[in-house]
Structure 1
């Protein structure tokens, strides 16, 4: 592994750790006085949004960390650990994070384009995760690894979304500026998925 790759992996892990631990610590007290939940008061009053929100953020925080370690050779070569973390990841996506995201998407108030972006991302996430699980059950390990890269690339969209929000807010006109959130919504996961495809193709050409 080159030095550049190691640095990028370290930066990615720090972003994952910062986002996941920060989210858990911020919302573990289940207070509705946070800035984000204050914006979602009308959605919370429906009774659907808050349970879905907690399922999504806590589920996503756990799977972002467990999923990241799955790409470590040391973890991969430890078969019992790899299988355990894999089960946590798949279970977390299919039964907590993704269902929560579907409900939250119904309350998106930033236009049809943003709604479509989150809906497509979440559906692809479910499809790739389920496909990865079915492939490993059939013993198709190579295809399983490729599908898991796609799944995690979509999960990592939670990290890149926050990064772009920070970037646009700090150096741009903020997320409220016309079309900015639409750009951020698609930029948070489409490049991730394209990068996963590049890695899959590159690995497929290796001897």
Structure 2
């Protein structure tokens, strides 16, 4: 079981790295902006004012926060990484709250396919900022178990754009791409992973209760 879990995590990591690499490789279409490229097509009118700075800040900081999030998840329970974990955790919270969330909110106003997707992206940005802030707060309070829960939620929200890209790729390959599909993807790409995590966490907590009750009974008998 442990081998299968390690293998699955390795496959997920490689898949995530591939998606991040494909995003970074598209930067050639953004400097300067190529409005015939996949993401910028039809955005000539919206690519003015505050949108370009928000767009560039978002695409530069986004991969950095993803890499930081992956390291923080890896290093959280390793004593040899504690000092660096705290330092990079502070940097992560700063980048998320000062750059990623504000730029995401600005971009959501001009979201492709309209306000339905825009609201999804805006709420996702707010949720990301909230989970990062709460993870930092509980770390400062030394409530590490609660910190880990909020940090995991933040990690899920940070990787959800990768899931959005993967789903978009599937839609393109299967010739199912549409405005409605884009809007659904904008919501499900982050709500379903969060929901799945909460279900897993609740089941894990329920599984612990019988063990604790059994242990308490044994102690009472002894």
Q: Assess if the C-alpha contact under 8 Å between 1:58 and 1:97 holds in 2.
A: no
Q: Are residues 55 and 120 of structure 1, via their aligned partners in 2, closer, same or farther at CA, if it must alter by over 3 Å?
A: same
In 1, Cα distance between equivalents of 2:62 and 2:78:
21
Query: TM-score, with normalisation over the residues of structure 2?
Result: 0.82
Q: Report what 1:98 is aligned to.
A: 101
The question of 1:62 aligning with 2:64 is answered yes
Counterpart position of 1:43: 46
Report the TM-score when normalising by structure 1: 0.87
Q: Distance in 1 between matches of 2:21 and 2:108?
A: 23
Greater Rg by CA:
2
CA 1:178 to 1:48, structure 2 compared with 1: closer, same or farther past 3 Å? closer
What's 2:23 paired with?
23
Q: 1:96 to 1:84 in 2, by over 3 A?
A: same
Q: Distance in 1 between matches of 2:204 and 2:82?
A: 21
Residues 71/198 of structure 1: CA separation in 2 closer, same or farther (3 Å cut)? farther
Distance across 2 between alignment mates of 1:75 and 1:17 = 23
The correspondence for 1:170, drawn from 169, 173, 176, is 173
Are the counterparts in 2 of residues 156 and 192 from structure 1 also a CA contact under 8 Å? no
- The whole-number CA distance in structure 2 between the counterparts of 1:15 and 1:43 is 32
CA distance in 1, matches of 2:201, 2:186: 24
Q: Which moved more, 1:12-21 or 1:190-199?
A: 12-21
Gaps of 5+ in 1: none
Instruction: Give RMSD over aligned pairs.
Output: 2.2
Match of 2:46, SS state, is helix
